[in-house]
Structure 1
Amino acid sequence: MRVLLVEDDHVLGSAIHSHIEHQGHGVDWVKRLDDAEDACATQTYGLILLDLGLPDGRGLDFLKQLRARRDDTPVIITTAQDQIEVRIEGLNAGADDYLVKPFDLGELTARLSAVARRYSASSDPATQIGDVQVDLGRRQISSNGRDIILTSREWAVVDCLVRNRGAIVPKSVIEDSLYAFGAEIESNAVEVFVSRIRKKLGHDFVTTSRGLGYAVAAK
């Protein structure tokens, strides 16, 4: 899942960024609302982690504008303001969840997973692809009933492909799921991760359409 982190506190933002990335998600970190607008205009996100007090405005105004243009990207608000009125205003503006600073990073992981499950494309979060069962919300995968351990980057590739199952996913889109903006991308990174995934899940789990991209079966 690709996450947009909107947070102007450098220490907290750095900790959150590292934690989410370690969980296997791609993260774009911005410190201003205008940069958040630019990011949303050029990238599709699975979730936005939004601070309320930014140098160039209120996070709630950004959220309201997001919903006004019918953008239903899940949003979790993070703020030091724990007054009930602020929470109600955020939820009424279209937030999906609320975290009051300081919060435990383990709680953040749980909230991210809960929101991801709610927004799963399928009412059944577990997807069967051949002999492989994938539960994106719980980040669990098994092959022939045997649990498989994936690295964070392998998970990022599987997540991208399964969310777009049945369609050919261009290499550039998979690269976006692997790295945040500005990160150096090795030319053969996608091929390397696809090869590792095939070794763990079977060669037929990922198909290659030469010159177009990669795909997993619709079912």
Structure 2
Amino acid sequence: MISEIANRIFNQVIADYHKFDDIDYTVKNPYDAETLEHLFYVKNWIDTAQWHMEDVVRNPQIDAAEGLSWKRRIDAQNQVRTDMVEFIDGYFLNLYKNIKAMPDAKINTESPAWALDRLSILALKIYHMKEEAERETATPEHREQCLAKLNVLLAQRDDLSQSIDELIADIEAGKKYMKVYKQMKMYNDPSLNPVLYNKS
């Protein structure tokens, strides 16, 4: 099952990242470059690094110039994240290019890779909520609240995993077909963001 592979690798990446806890650490992807596992590893590393960038920029004592620098870095990282999702969708499009869709086949509300993107972020939420549920310096009330939230996240992961596997099965059976739209993010494009093109 795709979701089982994804969840296993996302958890592995998060554990690998926290061995060093360094946004700029050079990634050592253990999977062959041609595999889906390799792509999942890269995907979650991008998300994990961005998660920690978001933590840094929310420090209320951060210097304004440094905060702006981090915000711009987060924007750039978000573009990398989007590009990676679209690359993974390209993998799936190529994988299923010879499958003939049934006449009554339907399109899904999101592509496989965007669903997997949500699963990747969910893995990060689960990891950090579990940390909070077990944090000894937190109050019992805080830990209890976080444990309740953790249980919701775990249930959400089960449901999302099942939905992803069902989507993949439907695509393989021709019951659904893939149609991928580029996200066309405008804020990073100097020709589309009026604040940028009016400066030139």
Q: What TM-score comes out, normalization by structure 1 length?
A: 0.27
Relative contact order, CA 8 A, sep 6+: which one is greater?
A: 2
Question: Which of the two has greater strand per residue?
Answer: 1
Which protein has the larger Cα radius of gyration, Structure 1 or Structure 2? Answer: 2
Instruction: Kindly indicate which of the two structures has a greater share of residues assigned to helix.
Output: 2
